[in-house]
Structure 1
Amino acid sequence: MDVGRGAGAVLRRWYVFLPLVILTVMAALRVEEGVRPQYETSATAILVPGDPPTDRPYGSIEDTTQALSIVLANGRSRAAIARLGLNPDYLIEARDNSDLLNVAVVDDSRERSVATGEAVLAMARQELAQRQAAAGVSPRARTVMQILQTPSDWDVVEGARRNAVMVGAIGVALSLLLTVLVDDLVAWLRRRGPDRRALEHDQSDDPGGAGAP
């Protein structure tokens, strides 16, 4: 759409464009009020080898980190978290060739997001201890998990504002399009009026007329 054409249509048909924009603003505000804020909790843990180094059920520290992330992401672990009344849609990330394990949770409740992160870390610690105990690794030689960033750290995800901006942008674009269409329709009707009157005048001047035999 030509910018000049759109601006001219808005100036000529402001009585069409302005009410539509007002309705768009009201709709965007309603969307922003209707969407509940979400809270993102993140936590980071590091795996520390025991002393002295010994055979580990999962292999190296890096392999252990990857294995833990797979175990925590499977359906059984998520079902266990859900039975606690927590959010099973958490995210587990183990970086390649790293001993760091990241947990992220996004939830409508800040308390539930924090509790979910804590429960996932507790499950990881329990899984690590049980596997090493079953393999006969002495407590001193076992790999342990230390928390670098607790799940108590959280941020608000601005989903409501983003949705409101999207509704506003789409609404303004549709308002502009409808205003241009109305402007084109009015212009077409105005051009058609003189042409129709001229045709009627010519027919009245014709003695034969359209109905003559």
Structure 2
Amino acid sequence: MRGSGKVRVLVRRWYVLLPLLALTATLTHWVGQGVSPRYEVTATAVVQAGQLAYSGQHPYGSVPHTNQVLAVVLDAQETREELAARGFDPTYEVTARERRNYFQVELHSRTAQMGLETVAAVLEVARQEILQRQELAGTPEEYWYDVQVLQPPSISAAAPWRIRNMALVALLGVVISVMVTTSSWSGRRPY
């Protein structure tokens, strides 16, 4: 059947096509209501050396080593449980590259506010951790390493799952509706 023939069939069988399209619209709306948005929140921080070079034993070693240790501490189950007890989302990810002095915190959150607050709390835990260890080791303050935020917590993307799912359901519904309407048409009049 050619294109013009299919259009004629669709017009003649409107009583089949319209309920199927209405069902498609209803399903599309239902899918859209059922999917909650996800927000991707990221932040980047750098470990900076103190004002003076320290000749003694630093509790973390070098700055890149400190960065790796901080990533391990932030990824630890204890840290996640502590943050969860304070009401934050413990599903964040910390990425620290080898031989670099910066790390990145990333979180996929259901709400933008919770994501921003959680990533800020993770950065604060990193800062407190590094300051406590240096204080306990007796390192003079002018030699302390510090965590400086390069990129504050920000929403880098809102995952478009809702729109994507709705578009997929709508497209499949229209295609199936047209196929059902045109496939059952024999082309002959019943009388």
Give me the TM-score of the superposition, normalised by structure 1.
0.72
CA deviation digits over 1:185-208, x for unaligned, max 9? Answer: x47xx7xx9xxxxxxxxxxxxxxx
Amino acid at match of 2:27: A
Q: Distance in 2 between matches of 1:58 and 1:17?
A: 70
Amino acid at match of 1:34: G
Cα distance, 1:41 vs structure 2: 2.1
Residue equivalent to 1:146: 148
Residue equivalent to 2:33: 33
Residue equivalent to 1:121: 123
Cα distance, 1:81 vs structure 2: 1.0
- Segments of structure 2 that go 5 or more residues without pairing to the other structure are none
Task: Report the aligned-residue RMSD.
Answer: 2.6
Contact 2:9/2:182 (<8 A) preserved: no
Call closer, same or farther: CA 1:12–1:111 in 2, change over 3 Å: same
Call closer, same or farther: CA 1:66–1:12 in 2, change over 3 Å: same
Amino acid at match of 1:78: R
Contact 2:39/2:115 (<8 A) preserved: yes
Q: Distance in 1 between matches of 2:68 and 2:4?
A: 58
Cα distance, 1:18 vs structure 2: 4.0
Q: Distance in 2 between matches of 1:176 and 1:65?
A: 59
Residue equivalent to 1:83: 85
Cα distance, 1:21 vs structure 2: 2.8
Q: Greater share of helix residues, 1 or 2?
A: 1
Cα distance, 1:100 vs structure 2: 1.4
Call closer, same or farther: CA 1:176–1:7 in 2, change over 3 Å: farther
Cα distance, 1:10 vs structure 2: 6.0
Q: Distance in 2 between matches of 1:174 and 1:60?
A: 63
Q: Distance in 2 between matches of 1:10 and 1:72?
A: 61
Of 105, 108, 111, 2:110 maps to 108
Contact 1:37/1:160 (<8 A) preserved: yes
Asked whether 1:52 is paired with 2:53, we answer yes
CA deviation digits over 1:30-72, x for unaligned, max 9? Answer: 3223333333322111110112145433332222212211221
Cα distance, 1:82 vs structure 2: 0.7
- Segments of structure 1 that go 5 or more residues without pairing to the other structure are 194-213
Q: Distance in 2 between matches of 1:68 and 1:177?
A: 58
Residue equivalent to 2:159: 157
Q: Distance in 1 between matches of 2:170 and 2:4?
A: 18
Call closer, same or farther: CA 1:168–1:49 in 2, change over 3 Å: same
Question: How many residues of Structure 1 are paired with residues of Structure 2 in the alignment?
Answer: 183
Q: Which of structures 1 and 2 has the bigger CA Rg?
A: 1
Call closer, same or farther: CA 1:140–1:168 in 2, change over 3 Å: same
Contact 1:6/1:180 (<8 A) preserved: no
Residue equivalent to 2:67: 65
Matches within 5 A, 1:191-210: none
Q: Percent identity?
A: 34
Contact 1:17/1:176 (<8 A) preserved: yes
Q: Distance in 1 between matches of 2:95 and 2:152?
A: 15
Call closer, same or farther: CA 1:75–1:10 in 2, change over 3 Å: farther
Call closer, same or farther: CA 1:6–1:90 in 2, change over 3 Å: farther
Q: Distance in 1 between matches of 2:4 and 2:73?
A: 59
